[in-house]
Amino acid sequence: MVRRYDPERRGRIIDAAIRVVGARGIAGLSHRSVAAEADVPLGSTTYHFASLDDLLIAALRRSNENFARAMRESEALLAPDADLAEELARLLGEWFSGGRGRPELEYELYLAALRRPALRPVAAEWTDGTAELLAGRTDPATARALTALMDGICLQVLLTGGTYDAAYTREMLARIIG
């Protein structure tokens, strides 16, 4: 299908890249595989994204936004009298409630920064943004520690095949909060 004016094309290409990574992993990502998935000409992917790293950066930013949006929209997270550990454990539980597919995909993109230095600033954006949001409820060092613990718990669940334990998460977060 040829579309001369297609203002949504860039977004569709990003979404297609996320689907390709979800189905085939980072190794399966190419301009050609994304173009086929997005149903656009190959030249469209290279027009919008000169390199695969550019495409991965956009995909990582889009996937990072999912959890960040949930945190920003959480009234309980922002309320000064709310139980911070309880709300963070609840948000992680919601994230895992849709199954392992989405969290695995998002962490695959996030951890791609280990081998692709171009992705590191985007990975840092997520940790910095999360810590900044949490710093509104606690001090900056504690906010960073909470972010690191949430990452660690998520990685343990994903890498060990375990199940998310909200009570354990709440208890560990509460210990850091003090």
Residue 55 belongs to some domain of the structure: no
Measure the CA–CA gap between 55 and 48, rounded to whole angstroms: 8
Q: For 119-134, what is the mean pLDDT? A: 90
Q: What is the pLDDT of residue 3?
A: 53
52-73 vs 9-24: helix crossing angle, rounded to 10 = 90
Dihedral pair phi/psi, residue 115, rounded to 5°: -105, -15
Q: What is the pLDDT of residues 4-56, one digit of tens each?
A: 667 788 999 999 999 999 899 899 999 999 999 999 999 999 999 999 999 99
Residue 19 lies in a domain: yes
Angle, helices 52-73/120-134, rounded to nearest 10 degrees: 10
3-state secondary structure 98-163: CCCHHHHHHHHHHHHHHCCHHHHHHHHHHHHHHHHHHCCCCCHHHHHHHHHHHHHHHHHHHHHCCC
Domain that holds residue 4: 1-50
- For residue 130, tell me if it sits in a domain: yes
CA 89, distance to chain mean position in Å, is 17
Percent of the chain past pLDDT 70, that is, above it, reads 97
Are 104 and 151 found together in one domain?
A: yes
Band of the pLDDT at 58, cuts 50, 70, 90?
Answer: very high
Query: pTM score, two decimals?
Result: 0.83
CATH number of the domain at 91, please: 1.10.357.10
Residues in the chain: 178
pLDDT of residue 109 exceeding 80 = yes
Residue 22 is classified by DSSP as H
